[in-house]
Structure 1
Amino acid sequence: GRARRMQVSSPERQHDVMIEAVENHMPEVIIVDEIGREEEARAARTIAERGVQLIATAHGTTLENLLFNPTLSDLVGGIQSVILSDEEARRRGTQKAILERKAVPTFDIVVELRDRDTVAIYHDTAQAVDLLLRGYDPEPEIRRRTKEGTVQIAEHRRRKEEFVVVPREEEPSRKVLGMPEGRMLRVYLFAISKNYMQRAIAQAKVPLEIVDDLNRADLVLTLKSRYRKRGSKIREAENRGIPVHVVRSNTYNQIQKFVHDLFGYSEASPESEESGLLEAERAARHVLKLGEPVELSPRNAFVRRLQHKIAERYNLFSQSIGEEPFRRVVIYPRSLSKDE
């Protein structure tokens, strides 16, 4: 056809060739076989800003890995640390120092190649990155190629196999581990990001401590792939009777879900959490407008705590009523006592 192939004489010159293609050939589409250096990421942004359609590959197991890769993060918008005012931090219910997307992503759409026959498609890169930085799962569209060669579009749901307990099959809890309520749980990490775990512990505010000595651990967390290899640490933990917990991948979302499940927050999915927060926001505005209490839908303890924070932000009273699993939050106007 009318396509042109531009040879790159050396990897160090790839970014120059990318810019040359735009300036000298006026293309409608440019396809780049692997962006791997910071200069190439900057060149890709220059190309995108000139209105040329850009298709490229980049090494990164997941979108989250790419986002936290300092060399390539600009492809998906990059990240920066932002200091919020005291008032804004209280309004958001977060710490004063947070991570935010730095710029508009170079690529509007990101496709993860999960295996030979499965891809995950993020149709809005900016939204997906914002959700990741808030600690949510962006939930991409999953497409699978069947043995017959057809492509199936699967709705993305949180799967039970994302969190596996070995050798027990029950949901992890203090009762399963035989731990007393007041005692700090100690976890030993094997091939798991310590930073991700620390973030998850801080976000959930749970009594979980990371230890470097297997002898002090109450449980072990590792990757599913590492557990299958039956390394020395895994065998040692099992010989000592220490429960081994497994997650599919070393990402913040997987580790956060492990922490939530461990302490009874297993229902706090992005769907239930976001709908619970939206319900509380609407209820708070209704209470302010009409001056009458509003009873919210039953939610788990994690979401109820967030709903109480929203009521507090609006300077309203709130309390939880009922018994599990139907325990729920009621929001009252300031003029009403919670006992009325």
Structure 2
Amino acid sequence: MLIADDLDKLLESLPPFVRRPLETHPQKDDLIEVVMDLGRRPEARFPGHPEYLSNEMITCNDLNYCIKRLGNFSGDNRAGIERTLHRISCVRNRDGSIVGLTCRVGRAIFGTIRDLLETGKSLLLLGKPGVGKTTAIREVARVLADEMQKRVVIIDTSNEIAGDGDIPHPSIGRARRMQVSKPERQHQVMIEAVENHMPQVIIIDEIGTELEAAAACTIAERGVQLVGTAHGNYLDSLINNPTLADLIGGIEYITLGDEEAKRRGTQKSILERRSASAFQIAIEIHERYCWIIHEDVEKSIDNTLQGGDFPIQKRTFDPIGKTVIEYTHLSPLSDFGANANWKYYQSSFKPSRDIPSTTLKEKESYLNEKELYNKSSLNLERKKQLKNISIYSYGINLQYIETIVSLFNFPIVTTRKIDEANFILSVRNQIKHNAQIRHVAKLKNIGIQTIRSISMPQLVRALYCMLDWKTYEIDLKKMALLITKENNFNELEVFEEVRLAIEKLVIPKKITVELLPRNVSLRKIQHELIHHYQLKARSIGEEPDRKLRIYPN
């Protein structure tokens, strides 16, 4: 729940003709900021719309009225009101005189992502200006210091986290605050905090330079938990930002040998993560009450660079104290990423249960009750009424597709004419480098569905996606029969091993299971089946004894 901190103190610093309309405004509690520019009407900004407060123009006397009631402006042109969280930023002309003010309302938030903080992993919050990154880390600081009894040091460059003045605001709890004399010294103060004050957690707002990114990486290597914020709408945007790329391990080109490139099914020159990420969890804040969470940053970055999909979580916070958690897997080759439309981004999530903001154990009990199968009569009836869709296969043997369609009774027909197709099905690396076929698909409004490599499980999942059916409804008996028809008994053995381990041990007994060592191609099949059960797994050991470990929810 967001609470405006001492809003009256901010209003008292405004000229009377600006203050009076706000004191009686019905949306007073939702005020985001007040903007006053010389020679223009004062403007108040509320969620979704701005509003003029008066027909009078702002004069130099009006600006001086505000400046006299504020603290001193620092090197980054920011000031505050002592013992509050409000931030006032100024706009200067060429001579250095102030010609505009932005008075942003500071708020404290109650209720946060404690379950992620308890992991002890470093946390990075991403978002455009004004979505609530600073508000979020303010509460993170309080939870870590007061509720989890950790030694927390805040690097407060602009006095925005803990308020103006020498006494920090109560909203940060027992956390200590280190002020920064000049913005360009922030990286030095970060290192000083670690060396002099023995913190368990360092909190940094607005990491924006290479020196600050390097300091964050150094702190992470010293075993200190980091909580930081950076500007950027999506995790993908850090890959394309050379200044901040080191926060997620750095990106570099590498050249593979012929055999390795063939095994991976990629080009010889590829992008890979250079080193370990300084942050293990990333949160994209697109809206004030809606967060996208990457619980494994390195996995998300690696799969993005390799063209694979990766799991993400969406949390929606209700002002009355309820949290809704949803899950999905995203593919970097779809419309998600740095240029994604947020409404389309939201539409990919499958809803989970509403989770009240109570104890962590209660939250976990809700999360562990995810349903794996949903074969209601309504869904089956909808499938029976579905008309046939036409598929054009590019680089995939039509016999594979027709075998699957026949076995699963899919309402699908194949075509050799691209004009007659509803979808193009192809291997990802092949279609990615064929601009002509992608141009034709765009002109004729034909959907493109890709798979990483040609295997029966991936083809089945792709056909389910094209039909808009839930992949967790896949008939596992038919899948096993399909593998048998393919005469690949190694795959069948792997399939049965994973299925029995999950259904006999992992799900009913909630225990971690290690599978037998397998080669890379068979481990990919194991990963696909584990993903079907909505479980997590990781590879352990070294080749040729590398194997998977499956974890219960």
Seen in structure 2, the aligned counterparts of structure 1 residues 83 and 26 have a Cα distance that, compared at 3 Å, is same
Tell me the distance in 2 between the aligned counterparts of 1:113 and 1:47. Answer: 24
Are 1:276 and 2:458 matched, yes or no? yes
- Report the equivalent of 2:244: 72
State the secondary structure of the residue aligned to 2:189: helix
Seen in structure 2, the aligned counterparts of structure 1 residues 208 and 73 have a Cα distance that, compared at 3 Å, is same
Seen in structure 2, the aligned counterparts of structure 1 residues 273 and 129 have a Cα distance that, compared at 3 Å, is farther
CA-CA distance at 1:157 after TM superposition: 5.7
- Residue 458 of structure 2 aligns to which amino acid in structure 1? G
Are 1:207 and 2:401 matched, yes or no? no
- Report the equivalent of 1:265: 448
Among 45, 49, 70, the alignment partner of 2:217 is 45
CA-CA distance at 1:284 after TM superposition: 12
Are 1:111 and 2:111 matched, yes or no? no
Tell me the distance in 1 between the aligned counterparts of 2:249 and 2:280. Answer: 10
Q: Given the two structures, how large is their TM-score scaled by the length of structure 1?
A: 0.53
Are 1:140 and 2:312 matched, yes or no? yes
Seen in structure 2, the aligned counterparts of structure 1 residues 112 and 274 have a Cα distance that, compared at 3 Å, is farther
- Residue 448 of structure 2 aligns to which amino acid in structure 1? Y
Seen in structure 2, the aligned counterparts of structure 1 residues 269 and 88 have a Cα distance that, compared at 3 Å, is closer
CA-CA distance at 1:59 after TM superposition: 0.8
CA-CA distance at 1:138 after TM superposition: 2.2
CA-CA distance at 1:105 after TM superposition: 0.3
Tell me the distance in 1 between the aligned counterparts of 2:442 and 2:254. Answer: 35
- Contact (CA 8 Å) 1:35, 1:56: kept in 2 or not? yes
CA-CA distance at 1:202 after TM superposition: 5.6
Seen in structure 2, the aligned counterparts of structure 1 residues 127 and 110 have a Cα distance that, compared at 3 Å, is same
- Report the equivalent of 1:297: none
- Report the equivalent of 2:257: 85
* 1:236-255 equivalences in 2 (<5 Å): none
Instruction: Show CA shifts across 1:62-99 (max 9, x none).
Output: 00001221000111111110100111111111110011
State the secondary structure of the residue aligned to 2:276: coil
Deviation beyond 4 Å, 4+ runs, structure 1:
157-161, 199-202, 217-220, 272-275, 277-280, 282-286
CA-CA distance at 1:285 after TM superposition: 11
Instruction: Show CA shifts across 1:259-298 (max 9, x none).
Output: xxx55433x478x989528999x889974869xxxxxxxx
State the secondary structure of the residue aligned to 2:448: coil
State the secondary structure of the residue aligned to 1:114: strand
- Contact (CA 8 Å) 2:255, 2:268: kept in 1 or not? yes
Tell me the distance in 2 between the aligned counterparts of 1:29 and 1:6. Answer: 13
- Residue 236 of structure 2 aligns to which amino acid in structure 1? E
Seen in structure 2, the aligned counterparts of structure 1 residues 97 and 16 have a Cα distance that, compared at 3 Å, is same
- Report the equivalent of 1:238: none
Seen in structure 2, the aligned counterparts of structure 1 residues 30 and 284 have a Cα distance that, compared at 3 Å, is farther
CA-CA distance at 1:219 after TM superposition: 6.1
- Contact (CA 8 Å) 1:29, 1:52: kept in 2 or not? yes
- Contact (CA 8 Å) 1:34, 1:56: kept in 2 or not? yes
- Residue 205 of structure 1 aligns to which amino acid in structure 2? N
- Contact (CA 8 Å) 1:206, 1:263: kept in 2 or not? no
- Residue 344 of structure 2 aligns to which amino acid in structure 1? E
Tell me the distance in 1 between the aligned counterparts of 2:486 and 2:191. Answer: 52
Among 166, 191, 199, the alignment partner of 1:27 is 199
Instruction: Show CA shifts across 1:106-151 (max 9, x none).
Output: 0011111021111011111111111111123423111011353311
Tell me the distance in 1 between the aligned counterparts of 2:233 and 2:257. Answer: 35
Among 134, 147, 151, the alignment partner of 2:323 is 151
- Residue 199 of structure 2 aligns to which amino acid in structure 1? P
- Report the equivalent of 2:344: 162
User: How large is the RMSD of aligned CA atoms in angstroms?
Assistant: 4.4
State the secondary structure of the residue aligned to 1:139: strand
State the secondary structure of the residue aligned to 1:106: coil
- Residue 265 of structure 1 aligns to which amino acid in structure 2? I
Count of paired positions: 217
- Contact (CA 8 Å) 2:431, 2:437: kept in 1 or not? no
Tell me the distance in 1 between the aligned counterparts of 2:441 and 2:488. Answer: 46
Gaps of 5+ in 1: 164-170, 175-179, 183-198, 211-216, 221-242, 244-261, 291-309, 312-340
- Contact (CA 8 Å) 2:309, 2:329: kept in 1 or not? no
Tell me the distance in 2 between the aligned counterparts of 1:81 and 1:285. Answer: 37
By relative contact order (CA 8 Å, sep 6+), the higher-ranking structure is: 1
Are 1:61 and 2:233 matched, yes or no? yes
- Residue 43 of structure 1 aligns to which amino acid in structure 2? A
Q: Given the two structures, how large is their TM-score scaled by the length of structure 2?
A: 0.34
